A and B are shown apart, each in its own frame.
Chain A
Amino acid sequence: MTVVQVRYFGKLRELVGVKNEEYTVKEGTTVADLLLSRIPEKHSEVSKTWAETLFRTIKSEIIRNKDGTPVLDNYLIMINGKSAKLNGKLRQGDEVAIMPPFGGG
């Protein structure tokens, strides 16, 4: 099993109600699996809003790339401070930051 830390910011932090969470996932779990399944399963009360906020959707259906990965709606996923691909596999100790569009200044 692989243990990762997930950090939420801005409107997503408000949506799920926590800043950080630990997830234990099976080896080979991808970033997309985490975002599409594990997190919304844990926060089932807001899972519809989660999907519609994080991903591009048409009539609540998540739009996907040709390889099947979902299309983010201007959100940025960073793992250990570096931009992450959704089909990348999670590794032990990863810090996954889920970041809404920025609003500084």
Chain B
Amino acid sequence: MAGDNLKGIGDKLVVEVKIKISQKLDSLNSLVKELKKSSDEIGAITVFVGVVRGTREKEKVLRLEYEAHETLAPQTIEKIIDEQKAKHGVIDAIVEHKVGSVQVGEEVMYVLIASKHRKEGRLALAEIVDQIKHEVPIWKKEVTEKNVYWVENA
């Protein structure tokens, strides 16, 4: 229940950032609904969906395998979102990232940003996705028809 995360601060209702790193993502619709509950000032929800690509250069990808540091990964994402909320003035955010084996075409990461207007939402979304790739202790192994690669985000 999203309401479990609600905290009253003065006359404002603040929802804590929701971060989930697990083998299953929630439905995108349910996350949008949940995010909308955080404030009636929300005018835009900007969404990034990461999908497992089926090719690596000319090789056919079979699957990706993800692992994460179970405490540091969500803590780091929370810190990134807090920084971005302060920087861009967005209202709230949800991040979900899969771990374990993920097949080609499957969705692997959701980032949703709630903001008053689309402009700050888009800016925050782009920066948060980049930061998740470079700063969060998550590792990815790409299994192709020919080989296995540990992918390091440049």
Bound CA span A104–B67, Å? 9
**Contact between A97 and B136 (Cβ–Cβ < 8 Å)?**
no
A78 at the interface (CB under 8 A from B): yes
Query: Total A-B pairs in contact (CB under 8 Å)?
Result: 66
Mask: chain A, 64-97; 1 = CB below 8 Å from B; 0 = not: 0000000000101010010000000000000001
Shortest CB distance A49–B (Å): 13
Which of A10, A13, A78, A102 lies at the interface centre, i.e. has the most chain B CB atoms within 10 A of its CB? A102
Cα(A81)–Cα(B140), bound, Å = 21
Residues of B within 8 A of A105 (CB): 50, 97, 108-109, 129, 132-133, 138, 153
B residues lining the A interface (CB < 8 Å)? 50, 66-69, 71-73, 75, 97, 108-109, 129, 132-141, 150-153
Of the A-B pairs whose beta carbons lie under 8 Å apart in the complex, a sample of 27, sorted by A's number, is: A7-B69, A9-B67, A9-B139, A10-B139, A11-B139, A78-B72, A97-B72, A99-B69, A99-B137, A101-B152, A102-B133, A102-B134, A102-B137, A102-B139, A103-B150, A103-B152, A103-B153, A104-B66, A104-B68, A104-B97, A104-B109, A104-B133, A104-B138, A104-B139, A105-B109, A105-B133, A105-B138
